[in-house]
Amino acid sequence: MATKVVIYGLSTEGYSLACQIALNGGDVQIIDESTPSAISIKQDIAKSYPSVQALKDDEPLLAMTSIDAAISKAQVLVFAPRIRKTGQDIKIEINSKFKDAVSNIKKGCNVVYGLGTGFGGNSENISLLEHVTGLKVGKNISYYYYPLSKESTIKPYIGSSNSKENETLKKLLTNEKKFNFLSLNSAEYFHAIDILKQFSSQTSILEVCKFAKDSVTKSDLNSEKLGELYLDDFIDGLFDLRSLSSSFEGASSLMYLINGSMKGLDGYIKRLIDETRLILKKNELKASRTKILLLWTLDQHEMKGEKIEKLLELETKLKDYIGDVESISQPVDIFQNDKTTIIVVCSKRDFDYIMKNNKDDELIILKANPLCQLISQK
């Protein structure tokens, strides 16, 4: 009989994992918190609908059950919710959703936590899990740590409360032969290394590219693919970096790395704003006669709302200088107005779109890449 798997959260990452599990022979349901109901994901659905949006757009007939009924029968429960709060409220939202997810699990359930945590985060989760359910990890339930990302839901490792291999989980989660079961601490450390390597690399690029002023240097740097990185790429994993930051107090080399990465990102947002203001100055444009469009197509189903947060931050800060600022995705005939339009393009997908569809020579296009390239100018 197929293993019954429930994924809590109709997120991009959760749905991708649900499809993987269905194709690997699992009996998988995914919980849509907005409905609320548990949707059955069969192999034909996994093959036909590559994303949550595709599934929602087509609205195929899907078998549904109540959330409580689904969770109570789950042999594996994966926690992959959509988180939209920020700051201090984010921990409250996560804990609230986690309580909802695990409150009806039964003995023998394998709980898989899919959000990235800082050091010691899984110990806190286990305490909450045991408090809510009255069950004991290692005695009548098991706990695993498997931080999901958009790039790939298949990591080569998973953290386990007992460090022992679970053949059922291995078959469901991956087709790879090399899949290591580690202690929870080890999994936290490996994930921290992955996140820090990613952000240290990005921060190095952003900081060095600040010094590229002349066109020759910018052209040389662009030829090395640096121009193909966008704001959209720099935000991925920010939630995990912040979770790591909350693990430490005081000064340490690790905190310098973390804080440096976060400051580098904040500095880049400021630089984009300064570059936009510079365009106005160089072209002698009046703020009242200028419109700014932030072109950034976001995945509304991502687990973490970090990109939505940064888009709102950029929009708000630009409005301090220019009143007419709007964030859009894939516009059609939206540029026809009596104002000079500056488009800040925040992802490669959006840049490719605008270059293919733009027929207006009056547009000024600023690429939100490390070089802050100006593509066309009035």
The CATH number for 228's domain is 3.40.50
The set of long-range contacts for 26-32, using a CB threshold of 8 Å and a minimum separation of 24, is 26/2, 26/76, 26/172, 27/2, 27/3, 29/4, 29/5, 29/65, 29/70, 30/6, 31/6, 31/7, 31/67, 31/70, 31/71, 31/101
Looking at the fold, whether 137 and 247 belong to one and the same domain comes out as no
Contact 42, 51 (CB under 8 A): no
| Count of domains for the chain | 2
- Token readout for 138 is 């290692």
Residue 184: inside a domain: no
Looking at the fold, whether 172 and 204 belong to one and the same domain comes out as no
Looking at the fold, whether 114 and 223 belong to one and the same domain comes out as no
- Token readout for 161 is 């409360």
Q: Kindly give, in sequence order, each residue whose CB lies less than 8 Å from that of residue 360, ignoring residues fewer than 6 positions away.
A: 335, 336, 341
Strands 374-376 and 364-367: antiparallel
Closest listed residue to residue 331, CA positions, set 315, 319, 343: 343
pLDDT band for position 279 (50/70/90)? very high
Residue 221: inside a domain: yes
pLDDT at 49 over 70: yes
C-alpha to C-alpha distances, 55 to 9, 52, 58, 82, 114, nearest whole angstrom: 14, 5, 6, 17, 22
What value does the mean pLDDT take over residues 138-144? 95
Looking at the fold, whether 213 and 358 belong to one and the same domain comes out as yes
C-alpha to C-alpha distances, 7 to 72, 149, 188, 281, nearest whole angstrom: 13, 15, 21, 52
Residue 369: inside a domain: yes
Q: What pLDDT shows up at residue 152? A: 54
Closest listed residue to residue 334, CA positions, set 360, 300, 308, 367: 360
- Token readout for 217 is 């240097």
3-state class of 229 per DSSP?
Answer: coil
Looking at the fold, whether 174 and 268 belong to one and the same domain comes out as no
Domain final position from 178, 210, 235: 178
Residue 183: inside a domain: no
pLDDT at 378 over 60: no
Looking at the fold, whether 234 and 160 belong to one and the same domain comes out as no
Q: What pLDDT shows up at residue 332? A: 56
Looking at the fold, whether 203 and 106 belong to one and the same domain comes out as no
**Distance between CA 62 and CA 45 in Å, rounded?**
9
Looking at the fold, whether 207 and 165 belong to one and the same domain comes out as no
Domain of 366, in residue numbers = 190-376
Q: What pLDDT shows up at residue 54? A: 92
Residue 185: inside a domain: no
Closest listed residue to residue 209, CA positions, set 89, 55, 371: 371
Domain final position from 178, 209, 244: 178
Looking at the fold, whether 231 and 362 belong to one and the same domain comes out as yes
First to last CA, the chain: 66
Looking at the fold, whether 194 and 59 belong to one and the same domain comes out as no
pLDDT band for position 124 (50/70/90)? very high
pLDDT band for position 377 (50/70/90)? very low
- Token readout for 38 is 């548990």
What value does the mean pLDDT take over residues 14-34? 93
pLDDT at 223 over 90: no
Angle at 304 between CA 96 and CA 301, to 5 degrees: 100
Closest listed residue to residue 350, CA positions, set 327, 370, 377, 376: 327
pLDDT at 237 over 50: yes
CATH number at residue 125: 3.40.50.720
Looking at the fold, whether 363 and 304 belong to one and the same domain comes out as yes
> Which residue in the block uniquely carries the two structure tokens 């900081």?
207
List the helix and strand counts (H, then E) for the chain: 14, 14
Residue 371: inside a domain: yes
Residue 235: inside a domain: yes
Percentage of the chain beyond pLDDT 70 is: 95
**Distance between CA 201 and CA 194 in Å, rounded?**
11
Residue 243: inside a domain: yes
Q: What pLDDT shows up at residue 28? A: 96
Q: What is the mean pLDDT of the chain?
A: 90
Domain final position from 178, 198, 228: 178
C-alpha to C-alpha distances, 279 to 61, 321, 363, 365, 372, nearest whole angstrom: 51, 12, 12, 10, 11
Looking at the fold, whether 172 and 215 belong to one and the same domain comes out as no
pLDDT (tens digit per residue) in 296-312: 999 989 999 899 999 99
pLDDT at 59 over 70: yes
